[in-house]
Amino acid sequence: MKIVILIPTYNEAISIVELLRKIEEFRLAKSLDFDVLVIDDNSPDGTADIVQGLHIPWVNLLRRPKKDGLGAAYRAGFAKVLATNKYSHVITMDADGSHRVKDLEKMMAAIGRNYDEELIVLGTRWMAGGSVENWPKSRQWLSKSGTAYAKFALGINLNDLTGGFRIYSASLLRTLKLNEMSATGYCYQIEMALAAHLAGARSVEVPITFVERINGVSKMSRAIVVEALIQTTIWGLSRRFRPNADKLHYVK
């Protein structure tokens, strides 16, 4: 098993240094060998230059020309790591520290021993053992209701469809038509869960603690929420009236 962690960044000059320090401590403490790919969307605060200046041998950098959305950043990252044929699994996590490095151990343990299996592991806030810290009740309600609606609309029995702390097996990613996906904001997380479901991947949920960021500015906006609501409704209707076409759109 060989793992790579994808971390998209935009103006995360402070947070990314702290995160990479914690990941390095985790690698040493657990005697693990994995890589990190930071995907930077031309951050004005020099995030990419800071990462490059750290000279960490297991950290690679993908510079993108402009801010183009979370989904586009991850798809570019997937394309880069899959082209190497080096990795069996790809982890996605936020740069702002909201995904705890200490939760990586149980996330990785959920992979099991069948490394060629089509698999998605979801770090889940809304299940027994999962939690959030420093979120107001309104934000919790938005996240819970968003997942509840997506579960109903798409017919997917998972408890955190908008969370971004995940593991995808490379074999799953290779079965998907990643270049035909279009979601940009956090709606991208729902689209990937739907695609994995249509591909027949095994799904594992792992309880995590999500911690609201301390440094920087949240990327959440009203436009992202509206995009997710509209797109999920469209996908849900497609699932009901054109199920085979929906699958063909995502699975090779």
Whether residue 164 lies inside any domain: the answer is yes
Supply the pLDDT for residue 220.
56
Gap between the Cα atoms of 21 and 6, Å rounded: 15
What is this structure's pTM?
0.92
Residue 124 tokens, joined: 């889940």
| CATH code of 35's domain | 3.90.550.10
Supply the pLDDT for residue 215.
60
Supply the pLDDT for residue 218.
55
Residue 1 tokens, joined: 């098993």
Whether residue 168 lies inside any domain: the answer is yes
In this predicted model, what pLDDT tens digit does every residue of 107-142 receive, in sequence order? 999 999 888 999 999 999 999 999 999 888 888 888
Vertex 251, ends 246 and 252: CA angle to 5°? 130
Question: CB within 8 A of 74, min separation 6: which ones?
Answer: 6, 8, 39, 92, 188
Question: CB within 8 A of 183, min separation 6: which ones?
Answer: 71, 190, 191, 227, 231
> Number of folded domains in the chain?
1
Give me the DSSP letters along 113-147.
S-TTS-EEEEEESSSTT-EEES--HHHHHHHHHHH
| pLDDT under 70: residue ranges of the chain | 213-222, 224
Supply the pLDDT for residue 214.
64
Residue 151 tokens, joined: 């579960």
Whether residue 224 lies inside any domain: the answer is yes
Domain of residue 189: give its range: 3-246
Whether residue 183 lies inside any domain: the answer is yes
Whether residue 251 lies inside any domain: the answer is no
